[in-house]
């Protein structure tokens, strides 16, 4: 059964489309690995995206000499699709975070005087149900003082990733509460 994958690809290129299932079965562990690597979205839709990428790769591959070459080519096509989906996911998440931030500032700016501004800020902190003084201060610096993750991380001597995790958590919570 040497070069079984290469023979399957050749038969697909010759018109036997039903042979494609064999390729998907062989690549299933790789596809599953990359499906798990994407955090957002419907896993089945993401899986279909990878299968479509494999289909396109099978139709584009020019040199079908050995299983190793074919497997490498198909794996690269799946990996490239992963990077494309990851970039789209990151752009979408960044835009979502900006939109929630704009909603927050619109909400705060609707306050007419300093007293109602303070009440509004305290209400937001209560809505978010902050767990500790440290989280309260971090969220305050994010939303009220508009500090960056790096600046906040430097102040508290913690990682920027942890600050970003808190930012996403509370922006999601704020968005849910504002649109209930």
Per-residue pLDDT of the chain (180 residues; tens, 9 = 90+): 477 888 888 888 888 888 888 888 888 888 888 888 876 667 888 888 888 998 998 888 888 888 888 888 888 888 888 888 888 877 766 665 555 555 555 555 554 444 455 555 566 666 666 667 777 788 778 777 778 888 888 998 988 888 888 888 877 777 776 665
- Does residue 106 belong to any structural domain of this protein? no
**Domain identity same for 40 and 116:** no
Number of domains observed in the structure of the chain: 2
CB 24 within 8 A of CB 51: yes
Expressed as residue numbers, the domain containing 158 is 111-178
Residue where one domain finishes, among candidates 40, 60, 91:
91
102, part of any domain:
no
pLDDT at position 113 is: 45
Are 8 and 85 within one domain? yes
Identify whether the C-beta of residue 177 lies closer than 8 Å to the C-beta of residue 100: no
pLDDT at 12: 85
- With respect to residue 100, please indicate whether it lies within any of the assigned structural domains: no
Q: What is the pTM of this model?
A: 0.52
SS (H, E, C) 13-79: HCCCHHHHHHHHHHHHHHHHHHHHHCCCCCHHHHHHHHHHHHHHHHHHCCCCCCHHHHHHHHHHHHH
CATH number of 20's domain: 1.10.1740
Q: Residue 125: inside a domain, yes or no?
A: yes
CATH code, 171? 1.10.10
CA angle 88, 92, 97 (to 5 degrees): 150
Domain identity same for 26 and 82: yes
């Amino acid at each position: 059964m040497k070069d079984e994958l290469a023979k399957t690809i050749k038969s697909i290129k010759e018109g036997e489309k039903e042979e494609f299932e064999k390729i998907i079965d062989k690549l299933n562990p790789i596809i599953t690995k990359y499906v798990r690597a994407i955090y957002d979205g419907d896993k089945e839709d993401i899986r279909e995206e990878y299968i479509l990428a494999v289909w396109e790769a099978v139709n584009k591959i020019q040199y079908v000499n050995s299983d190793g070459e074919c497997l490498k080519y198909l794996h690269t096509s799946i990996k490239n699709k992963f990077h494309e989906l990851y970039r789209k996911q990151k752009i979408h998440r960044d835009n979502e975070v900006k939109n929630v931030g704009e909603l927050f500032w619109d909400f705060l700016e609707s306050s007419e005087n300093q007293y109602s501004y303070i009440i509004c800020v305290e209400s937001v902190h209560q809505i978010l149900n902050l767990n500790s003084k440290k989280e309260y201060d971090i969220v305050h610096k994010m939303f009220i003082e508009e500090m960056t993750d790096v600046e906040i991380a430097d102040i508290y001597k913690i990682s920027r990733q942890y600050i970003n995790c808190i930012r996403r958590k509370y922006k999601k919570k704020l968005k849910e509460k504002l649109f209930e």
